[in-house]
Structure formats: structure tokens, C-alpha cells
Amino acid sequence: MSRLHIDWTRCDGHGACAELLPELLGVDEWGFPVSRSGERDPEVPPALLSRARHAQNSCPLMALILVGPT
């Protein structure tokens, strides 16, 4: 299964990923994404894989990375 990794050296807290993938990501008080599951790199269920790819491709700073089988 794929995991969604956030590269914190790139992330600026735009929040677009959380808007596009609210099932997996929320935002903290500063607008930075946080995993809803509490995992550092949350698992992406197969049903959300295409939306996770879209969120990855939409990140303005390329801070989202899908890891594992895609």
C-alpha cells in the first residue's frame, strides 16, 4: 500500500493538500498539514490513490510524495 509523505523542508503550509484530501489530512493552527490517523506517513487506501496523486501534483512546493506502490 502507498503512503503519503510530507517533505517538511519544502512545505510552507498552503493547506491545499488538506483541502484536496480531507480524509487523510487536516491542518494545524498554522495551516500545516497533519495526518488524521496520527501516523507520520499515513497509508493511502486504494480508493483514495487517484485523489492522493492529484494532491501530490497540485502541491505548489512539491512537498507531498507518494511512497510505495502507486
pLDDT digits (tens, 9 = 90+) for 48-65: 999 999 999 999 999 999
Geometric angle at alpha carbon 62, from 37 and 12, rounded to 5°: 75
Domain ranges for the chain = 2-67
The string of pLDDT tens digits covering residues 4-53 is 999 999 999 999 999 999 999 999 999 999 999 999 999 999 999 999 99
Under CATH, to which class is 2-67 assigned?
alpha beta
18 SS3 class: helix
DSSP 30: T
pTM of the entire predicted model: 0.89
State which H helix or E strand residue 58 sits in: helix 49-58
pLDDT for position 35: 96
